[in-house]
Amino acid sequence: MTDRNNIPVTEDELHAYVDNELPPERRSDVEAWLSTHPEDAERVRSWRAMADALHARYDQVANEPVPKRLELERLMQQPRKWLYGAVAASLLAFIAGGGAGWIAHGVAASPSNFQSFTDDALDAHRLYVVEVRHPVEVPGNERAHLQAWLTKRCGWNVRAPELDATGLKLVGGRLLPGPSGPASFLMYESASGERFTVYTAKASTETTQMRFTTQDKDGAMFWADRGVGYVVSGTSDRERLGQVARLVYDQSDRAEKNGR
């Protein structure tokens, strides 16, 4: 042992040794110290094991494919959180504004039924539209399965409309409890992350006109058709939302006619 070894090694130096922060000329001193101080050697060993355990647990996260929502191209165009609030808000507007009109429209539309319809839609949005990683139960690439499943469970012909013409791709859908039986919930997304949702549930009104309601940046188009209520929510840009809603309407209409 050399004289230098008489300079005691501090705890700070042990940490610095493990983290490669120690001046190189001091390393051999520390190594000599460890050979004669088993308790310190044990601490150093445990810290290294700790680092190994951290890497064993978390390195796999770095090796996962990067989720789509973290792609820079997407993030550069996507306004983030307001969008989720927006959809919920659009439903609030739906209840507050247009809802009254719909209630007034049909004699058969009892307020309680209508209330629960919108409550369910609102709950659904609160629950799922904020969900970033798992917004849907069945992904859009299983469209045929999604449609067959929702049709079977809901009892009317559920078609996920093709909205590519408006730049929207099907994210997927899920089944929800509606006011009087199941409801279907479909989510669409544009390349820039703009999201639209289509909620359908059994309505107590047979048929209504399409109505529009807006609040701040958010809008909703809603109507009833052959006893099924539709709510298309998204942007407050009436032209844009109307374009989407019109496509949904046309395709559900066609699907019904073909189905009969």
For 152, the token pair is 């079977």
For 153, the token pair is 């469970």
201, with CB counted inside 10 A (0-12, 13-18, 19+), is buried
Binding pattern for the stretch 16-35 against other proteins, x by CB under 8 A and - elsewhere:
x--x-x--------------
Strands (E), 11-154: 138-139
Q: For the chain, give me the number of helices (H) and strands (E)?
A: 9, 7
For 170, the token pair is 């099907």
Site membership for other proteins, residue 15 (CB under 8 A): yes
Binding residues for other proteins restricted to 52-81, rule: CB under 8 A:
53-64, 66-67, 69-70, 72, 75-76, 80
d(CA 260, CA 71): 44
Site membership for other proteins, residue 192 (CB under 8 A): no
Binding residue for other proteins, selected from 47, 97, 217, 243, defined by CB under 8 A: 47
Is the CB of 7 or the CB of 51 nearer to other proteins? 51
Site membership for other proteins, residue 253 (CB under 8 A): no
Q: Tally the C-alpha atoms within 13 A of residue 239's C-alpha that lie toward its C-beta.
A: 0
Site membership for other proteins, residue 191 (CB under 8 A): no
Is the CB of 68 or the CB of 145 nearer to other proteins? 68
Residues at the contact surface with other proteins, assessed by CB under 8 A: 11-12, 15-16, 19, 21, 42-43, 46-47, 50-51, 53-64, 66-67, 69-70, 72, 75-76, 80, 132-133
